[in-house]
């Protein structure tokens, strides 16, 4: 990969705080800065979603085959948001919150 090419690979990303996320990883420019975009694939346990990380949050990026990343995602659920981040919704909803929306409001 030369310096001019953009990173666009399947990978498992290790984050500071002993967290991991996996998916199709690419570069993204937002708000005047550089971010790492992780598109987590849909699995039997959760719908796909996208998260963005600043460079300071990343400990390592481990490129891997698409099949390996998808297997990892099947075994390791990483929700995009949690009920604890939206306590007012958690009281009103019985079920998972996806991208900040209760079921049926997607």
pLDDT, one tens digit per residue, over 58-104 is 999 999 999 999 999 999 877 776 656 666 655 555 555 555 555 55
Position 12 scores a pLDDT of 96
pTM above 0.85, yes or no: no
Cα→Cα distances 43→3, 18, 27, 47, 48, Å: 33, 22, 23, 6, 7
Please provide the average confidence, as pLDDT, over all residues in the chain. Answer: 82
CATH class of 8-77: mainly beta
Cβ 23 vs Cβ 38: under 8 Å = yes
C-alpha span between 27 and 78 (Å, rounded): 20
Position 103 scores a pLDDT of 54
Task: Give the domain ranges of the chain.
Answer: 8-77
Position 58 scores a pLDDT of 94
Cβ 54 vs Cβ 38: under 8 Å = no
**pLDDT above 70 for 15:** yes
């Amino acid at each position: 990969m030369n310096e001019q090419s953009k990173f666009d690979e399947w990978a498992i990303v290790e984050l500071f705080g002993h967290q991991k996320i996996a998916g199709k990883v690419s570069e993204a420019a937002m708000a005047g800065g550089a971010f790492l975009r992780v598109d987590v694939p849909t699995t039997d346990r959760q719908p796909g979603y996208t998260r963005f990380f600043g460079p300071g949050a990343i400990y390592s990026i481990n490129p891997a085959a698409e099949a390996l990343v998808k297997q990892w995602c099947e075994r390791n659920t990483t929700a995009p948001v949690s009920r604890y981040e939206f306590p007012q919704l958690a009281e009103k909803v019985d079920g998972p919150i996806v991208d900040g929306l209760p079921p049926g409001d997607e």
